Amino acid sequence: MNKSKWIWRGVIGLVVLYAVFAGVSRHMYMSGLARDLRFGSRSEKIKAAKELMKRDRLYDKVQEMPKAGRIEVMDAVEDIPGALTVKQCLLLLKDTEADVRARVAKALSLLGEHQIELLVPAMRDSDENVRNGAKDALVAIGPKIIPDVQRAAEEPELRGAALDVLVRIGEPSVPALIVLLSADDQDLRVAAADSLGKIGSKGATPALLKAADDIPAVRRVAISSLCTIRDPRSADLLVEVLNHTKDDGEVRARAAHALSVIGGPRAVAALTGALADWDLKVRTSVITGLQTMNASAVKPVTAVISRGSPEVRRAGAAVLEKIDSPEAVPALLQLARDGDPAVRASAARGLGAQTAGVGVDVLISLLADKDGRAADAALDSLVRLGSRGAVVIPSLASVLRSSASDVVKYRAADVLGRIGASAVDSLLAVLNTGGDAAKFAAYALGRTGDPDAKPALEKLAGARDPDLAWIAKRALAHM
C-alpha cells in the first residue's frame, strides 16, 4: 500500500515537473519570438510573426511594443500573404494609435487583394476602428472590389459602409450604383441615388432622370443628386421641379441653384419666373442663383420687374443689388425712385456696390428718404463709394452748407466722418463758414479720428456758441 502511494506521488511529481518545464519553455520561446519580432533581422521578424499568428498571439505581443515598434513590425507582416495574416491584421486595427491603424490598413490593402471575402464582412465589426480600417483597405485596393461591395450593399447591415466605399472609389463605381438604383428594395434605391450625387458623375444623369419618376422618396433624392451633378441634360426636369409645387421646398430650392449653375435662356426664364415664389427657401435660392449669373441676369430681371407685382419688384431689386455691372446701373437708378421703400433700399445698396462710376446725386437724395431703411442703405453706400475713392466728398460737403433738414445734414456728416482722413480738408473748409454747417462739420471731424482735425476742434471748444463748443468737446473726446 505504501509502495503504491509513493509510485503515484512520483508520477504526479513528474507530471508537475513536466508542466512547469513546458510552461517555462513556452514562456521562453514566446519571449524569444517577441524579441525577434522587435529587434531581429527582417527574416527573423517574418518568422516570428508567422509563429505568433499561428498561436493567435501576434496582437498581444505587438501591443507590448512602443508605437514606433508597432508600426515597424507591419513591414514584416505585410510580407506574409494569406487569410491568417488578414485576420490578424483586422485584430491589429483595434490599436489605440491612429498612425498604427493607418499602417495596418495600408498592409491590408496589399494583403487583402486576394482576400476580399474577409475584408467585406469586417465592415460590420463591432469595433469602429476595424470597420473604418477595412473600408480604407478596400478603397485602397480599388475598382476590383466593386462587385463584392455591390453585393454587400444589398445587405442592410453592410449597406452604409459598402456605399461609402463605392463613393470613395468614385467614377468606376457609377455602373454598380446604377444597377442598385433598380433594386427592389426602396431604401437601397434611395441610398444608391444619394451615392451617385455624392460622386457627381454626369454619367449617372440618364439613370437619375429615370429614377425621378420613381416613388416620392426616391424622386426627391434623385432630383437632389441631379442638382449636385448639374448636367445640362437635366435642365428640363429641374425647370419642371422648380415650377412644380408637388416637390418640397428643399428640393425646389436646390433645383433653382442647379439651374443658375447650368445657365442658359431656359434656366434664366425659369428663375425669373419664380422670383415671387410662395416658399421663402425657394425664393431665396432663386435670388441667390440669379445674383451668381451676374450681367446675364440683368436684362431678364429688369424686364420682369417692369411688369411685376410688388413682391417681384422686391425680389428683382434684391437680385440687382448684388450684381456689379454697368448694365445694372440704369435699372438701379430707376428702382431708387420706386414707391416701395424696400425696393429703394435695395437700389441704394446696389448703387454702392458698383465699381464703375455712378452718379452720387441719387444716393444723396435718398439721405432725405422718409423710410429709414432706404436712407441708411444710401448712407452706407456713400461711405463705401467714398472709401473707394469715388468723388462724393464735395457733394456731401455741399449738403452741410445747404438748406437741407438737420436729419439730412446729420446723415451727410456721418458719411463724411466714416470716410475718414480724405474728408478732413473739405470739413475744415465747411468749419470756417460758421453757422449750423460748422456744427455738423465739427461732429464729422470727430468721427474721422484724424489728428489734423484736432487743432481746429480745440479752438472751437472755446467758442462763444455753447452748442458748437459742446460738439467740439465731444468730438475731441472721441479722437
Question: Over 134-183, what HEC string results?
Answer: HHHHHHHHCHHHHHHHHHHCCCHHHHHHHHHHHHHHCHHHHHHHHHHCCC
Per the model's pLDDT, the better-predicted residue between 7 and 95 turns out to be 95
pLDDT tens by residue, 177-222: 999 999 999 999 999 999 999 999 999 999 999 999 899 889 989 9
pLDDT band of residue 84 (cuts 50, 70, 90) is very high
Q: Give the dihedral sign, CA 109/115/121/122.
A: negative
Mean pLDDT of 354-372: 87
Query: Closest by alpha carbon to 119, among 154, 152, 155?
Result: 152
Mean pLDDT of 168-185: 96
- List the chain domain ranges: 8-141, 392-479
Query: Closest by alpha carbon to 362, among 373, 349, 371?
Result: 349
Mean pLDDT of 29-47: 81
Residue 250 has pLDDT above 60, yes or no: yes
Burial track 296-316 (b if 16+ CB lie within 10 A, e otherwise): bbbebbbebbeebeeebbbbb
Residues 153/162, Cβ–Cβ less than 8 Å: yes
Give the Cα separation of 116 and 223 in Å (integer). Answer: 34
Query: Closest by alpha carbon to 416, among 436, 433, 399?
Result: 399
Residue 14 has pLDDT above 80, yes or no: no
Give the pLDDT score at 26.
55
In the block, which residue shows the cell 423710410?
A: 371
The three cell numbers locating residue 458: 480745440
DSSP code string of 12-76: HHHHHHHHHHHHHHHHHHHHHHHHHHHHS-HHHHHHHHHHHHHTT-HHHHHHTS-HHHHHHHHHH
pTM: 0.74
Residue 7 has pLDDT above 90, yes or no: no
The burial of 138, by beta-carbon neighbours within 10 Å (0-12 exposed, 13-18 middle, 19 or more buried), is given as buried
Give the pLDDT score at 435.
86
Look up the CATH architecture of domain 392-479.
Alpha Horseshoe (1.25)
Q: In whole angstroms, how large is the CA radius of gyration of the chain?
A: 38
**% of the chain residues with pLDDT over 90:** 69
Q: Give the dihedral sign, CA 371/374/380/382.
A: negative
Give the Cα separation of 175 and 189 in Å (integer). Answer: 14
**% of the chain residues with pLDDT over 70:** 92
Residue 378 has pLDDT above 70, yes or no: yes
Give the Cα separation of 198 and 224 in Å (integer). Answer: 10
Residues 346/335, Cβ–Cβ less than 8 Å: yes
Q: Would you give the distance in Å from CA 279 to the centre of its chain?
A: 24
The one-letter amino acid at 86:
V
Give the chain's mean pLDDT.
90
Query: Closest by alpha carbon to 442, among 433, 385, 379?
Result: 433
Per the model's pLDDT, the better-predicted residue between 251 and 22 turns out to be 251
Give the Cα separation of 407 and 420 in Å (integer). Answer: 20
Alpha-helical regions (H) of 182-336: 186-199, 205-211, 216-229, 235-243, 249-262, 265-273, 280-292, 298-307, 310-320, 328-335
Residue 20 has pLDDT above 60, yes or no: no
**CA torsion angle 170 172 175 177 (round to 10):** -30
Give the Cα separation of 205 and 210 in Å (integer). Answer: 9
Residues 58/90, Cβ–Cβ less than 8 Å: no
Give the pLDDT score at 360.
84
pLDDT band of residue 479 (cuts 50, 70, 90) is confident
pLDDT band of residue 433 (cuts 50, 70, 90) is confident
Collapse the DSSP code of 213 into the 3-class scheme (helix H, G, I; strand E, B; otherwise coil) and give the result. Answer: coil
pLDDT tens by residue, 388-413: 877 899 999 999 999 999 999 999 99
Residue 363 has pLDDT above 90, yes or no: yes
